[in-house]
Chains A and B, each alone.
Chain A
Amino acid sequence: MTNDRDNITADPSVSATYRQLANETTPASLDEKVLHRAAALPRAGSSLGRAWMKPVAWAATIGLSLAIVLEMTQLPQAPLDIDAVTPPAPTDARPAPAPASLEPAAAEESRSTKPTRHRSETGAIEESKAQPMVPAAAPEPASAPEAKRAPEAARPKVIESTELQELADGDLTPAGRSDAAYGNAALAVSAKRMLLEQPLALCPETVREVAEDWYQCIEAQRNAVSPARIAAELEEFQKRFPNFEVPGTE
Chain B
Amino acid sequence: MAQGVTTAANTASLCSRVALAYAPRMGHVPDDGALMLRYKDGDIAAFETLYRRHNDALYRYLLRLCRHRESAEDIFQEVWGKIIKSRDNYRVTAKFTTFLYRVAHNCFIDHLRRNKRHANGLEFDVDQHAGSNDQPDMDTERLLAKERLARALLDLPDEQRDVFLLHEEAGLSIDEIAAVTGSKRETAKSRLRYAVNKLRDAISEPVNHYDE
Contact surface of A with B, Cβ cutoff 8 Å: 2-3, 5-6, 8-11, 13-15, 17-27, 30-31, 33-35, 37-39, 41, 43-48
Residues of A within 8 A of B129 (CB): 21, 24
* Minimum-distance CB pairs A-B, first 10: A26-B59, A43-B42, A34-B80, A9-B192, A45-B88, A26-B55, A9-B193, A21-B146, A14-B199, A11-B196
Residues of B within 8 A of A15 (CB): 168
* B48 interfacial by beta-carbon distance below 8 Å: yes
Q: Are B196 and A45 in contact (CB under 8 A)?
A: no
* A41 to B, closest residue via Cβ: B84
Q: Point out which of A8, A15, A43 has the most chain B C-beta atoms below 10 A from its C-beta.
A: A43
Closest CB of chain A to B199's CB: distance in Å? 5
Complex CA gap A54/B48 in Å reads: 31
Q: Are B168 and A22 in contact (CB under 8 A)?
A: yes
* B112 interfacial by beta-carbon distance below 8 Å: no
Q: Are A24 and B193 in contact (CB under 8 A)?
A: no
* A-B pairs with beta carbons under 8 Å apart, 16 shown: A8-B193, A10-B196, A11-B199, A14-B196, A17-B145, A18-B168, A20-B133, A21-B146, A22-B64, A25-B56, A26-B56, A26-B76, A27-B73, A30-B73, A30-B76, A48-B5
Closest CB of chain B to A160's CB: distance in Å? 75
Closest CB of chain A to B64's CB: distance in Å? 8
Chain B, 49-98, CB within 8 A of any chain A CB: 51, 55-56, 59-60, 63-64, 73, 76-77, 80-81, 84-85, 87-88
**Prevailing SS type, chain B contact patch:** helix
Closest CB of chain B to A35's CB: distance in Å? 6
Q: Are B42 and A46 in contact (CB under 8 A)?
A: yes
Residues of B within 8 A of A38 (CB): 39, 44, 47-48, 51, 80, 84
Chain B, 123-137, CB within 8 A of any chain A CB: 129-130, 132-133
Complex CA gap A9/B192 in Å reads: 6
Q: Are A34 and B51 in contact (CB under 8 A)?
A: yes
* Interface size class, chain B: 35 or more
Complex CA gap A33/B11 in Å reads: 26
**Prevailing SS type, chain A contact patch:** helix
New A-B pairs, 17, CB < 8 Å, besides A6-B173, A26-B55, A35-B47: A6-B174, A9-B189, A11-B196, A13-B204, A17-B149, A18-B149, A20-B146, A30-B59, A34-B51, A34-B81, A38-B44, A41-B84, A41-B85, A41-B87, A44-B88, A46-B5, A46-B41
* B111 interfacial by beta-carbon distance below 8 Å: no
Residues of B within 8 A of A26 (CB): 55-56, 59, 76
* A46 to B, closest residue via Cβ: B42
Residues of B within 8 A of A21 (CB): 129-130, 146, 149-150
Complex CA gap A207/B109 in Å reads: 101
* B188 to A, closest residue via Cβ: A9
Q: Are B42 and A23 in contact (CB under 8 A)?
A: no
* B105 interfacial by beta-carbon distance below 8 Å: no
Complex CA gap A44/B87 in Å reads: 9
* B155 interfacial by beta-carbon distance below 8 Å: no
* A8 to B, closest residue via Cβ: B193
Closest CB of chain B to A207's CB: distance in Å? 87
* B40 interfacial by beta-carbon distance below 8 Å: yes
Complex CA gap A13/B201 in Å reads: 11
Proximity string of chain B (19-52) to chain A, C-beta cutoff 8 Å, 1 when within and 0 when not: 0000000000000000000011110100110010
* B158 interfacial by beta-carbon distance below 8 Å: no
Q: Are B60 and A31 in contact (CB under 8 A)?
A: no
Residues of A within 8 A of B193 (CB): 8-9
Residues of B within 8 A of A22 (CB): 60, 64, 168-169
Q: Are A5 and B189 in contact (CB under 8 A)?
A: yes
Q: Are A10 and B200 in contact (CB under 8 A)?
A: no
* B116 interfacial by beta-carbon distance below 8 Å: no
* A3 to B, closest residue via Cβ: B173
